[in-house]
Structure 1
Amino acid sequence: MDFDTYERDLWDGRADAYQRGFAKMSGWAAGPLLDAAGVGPGSRVLDVGTGPGVVSAEAVRRGASVTAVDAEPSMAAIARANVPGLDVRLAVLPDLPLPDAEFDAVVGNFVINHIGAPDAAVREFARVLRPGGKLALTCWEMPPSGALALVTEALEEAGVAFPDDIPAAPFMDLGKRGPFAALLRDAGLTDARDAELRWTHHVDPDEWWTTGALARVGTNGVIVSRQDEPTVAKIKAAYDRLAARYATSDGRVALPANALIATGTR
């Protein structure tokens, strides 16, 4: 199975679970992303990989005119429900069914993590930007740490091996300062740069477990879903012990979220 085929299966019907859990963490980056792309009143914006529409909603709030695309029909449906009147279209990246030089800004919140050919995708993002338009993308920092690593570490502690049939993710090579900016530079964008994003995600640890690992969200969720009950219990015990490192006085956990943001100009 190639990476893009795996991604289509991974996210099939997962929109509601993603919205209830992981999107609450990744959505923090919507503001910095739109700031980096210079989005304000009257901006024509393309939100690629919109998911439940968090970035689109913030762009609309700022007075922008927004078009959104996503490959997963359930994500597109939730985005339409969350952002009334939003122009949402189905599109499997790297292909965009949109004309050249259509937008002042293209933004993608962690979408680059889910594309088998990120270089081709960034060239498409550049194609639909007007001259002088801005591209801004976020990507999880690699190797994963904090919130992104918690279930991974629990799987490792429980002795669960990474399955041979899950393809390697291309973004593992991009989640570092330097290579991420180079991706934009190689697509012909000028003033390409990347920077760190750091925040803390406060969440109930059982909620983080049930809306992620148990809801088959992401690759870790797929791996957990393949295990028998005793193994899942073993993973959960490891997860609880590891999550305790981040415990707060209110019974929640404060999970570090570590990402990168890359920007460039057409």
Structure 2
Amino acid sequence: MAGEFDAHERRMWTGAAEAYEGSFAALCGATAEALLDAAGVGAGTRVLDVGTGPGTVAAAALSRGAEVVAVDAEPGMLALAAANAPGAEVRHAVLPELPFSDGSFDAVVANFVVNHVEDPWAVLSELRRVIRPGGRLAVTIWHGTGNEAMSLFNLALDEAGVERPEYPTPPLNFARTAEGLRGLLEQAGWAEVVSSELAWTHRADPEVWWSGPAGGVANIGLVVTGQPPKTFARIKSAYDRLVAERVAEDGLVDLPALALLASGRC
């Protein structure tokens, strides 16, 4: 049975698939190739893409000639994944349980998924169950610091005088550092664990970037869309002013991003 954090995640993502695909998905998709490299995904690899979202990683794996199964808990994401990765087998699944027998896959990948589950240890243990002996896992999460991608929204909320509600936090927490993520995988039984940082600059149209919270995506979206119209307008006005200070000559805004990538062997 889902706990408070998992139940919140299910509510948070319900109906947000298209808004996510049109806003934050490009940022999250930037790690797809590094993730697949770390998992050793290539031609003929049978790979499970957990928390596939709109199917970005699944499509990238298909382009390598892999045999892809993609799962997600949100029906709207599954519809997008089926359209964006038409060669993949797309199925509904809610972590930490997967509808597959032991040793079903050569590799498992999870792009920004472990940070969205109540019990990451249980999820990583379940992923180890469905992979064959010697198979590889690769996961990404956001680093605990160094990300400016969401800072514009938080600054806009501050300027508009909006207080943040207290959303549930996972009871099993860990340091959002390379060392913390490596330790989590090792505790879940993964061997030969390697963990590192991935840094890049995401470039986005300011209105496209705003469409994420305006469309109710993630906790920031719940805060923004939960405001009365006048407050929503104040947040947008503050965002417009803040982003205008950062826009480049081509009209795009540079958003430094920092993620963690870890891989291990079963």
TM-score by length of 1: 0.94
For structure 2, the residue ranges without an aligned partner over 5 or more in a row are none
Report percent identity of matched pairs. 50
Cα pair 2:106 2:132 within 8 Å, conserved: yes
Deviation of 1:240 (Å): 2.6
Alignment of structure 1 residues 146-225 onto 2, 5 Å: 146-164=148-166, 166-169=167-170, 173-210=174-211, 212-225=212-225
CA distance in 1, matches of 2:173, 2:184: 13
Alignment of structure 1 residues 40-59 onto 2, 5 Å: 40-59=42-61
Cα pair 2:68 2:87 within 8 Å, conserved: no
Amino acid at match of 1:116: E
CA distance in 2, matches of 1:185, 1:219: 29
Change (3 A) 1:138 1:77: same
For structure 1, the residue ranges without an aligned partner over 5 or more in a row are none
Which residue does 1:32 correspond to in 2?
A: 34
1:4 is aligned to 2:6 = yes
Which residue does 1:81 correspond to in 2?
A: 83
Other structure's SS at 2:31 match: helix
> Which of the numbers 123, 131, 139 marks the counterpart of 1:121?
123
Amino acid at match of 2:169: A
Deviation of 1:180 (Å): 0.7
Cα pair 1:48 1:68 within 8 Å, conserved: yes
Cα pair 1:197 1:260 within 8 Å, conserved: yes
Per-residue displacement from partner, 1:233-264 (whole Å, max 9, x unpaired)?
22223323332453211111011111111111
Other structure's SS at 2:35 match: helix
Which residue does 1:239 correspond to in 2?
A: 239
Amino acid at match of 1:98: F
CA distance in 2, matches of 1:236, 1:176: 32
> Which of the numbers 108, 130, 136 marks the counterpart of 2:138?
136
Deviation of 1:125 (Å): 0.8
CA distance in 2, matches of 1:258, 1:171: 22
TM-score by length of 2: 0.94
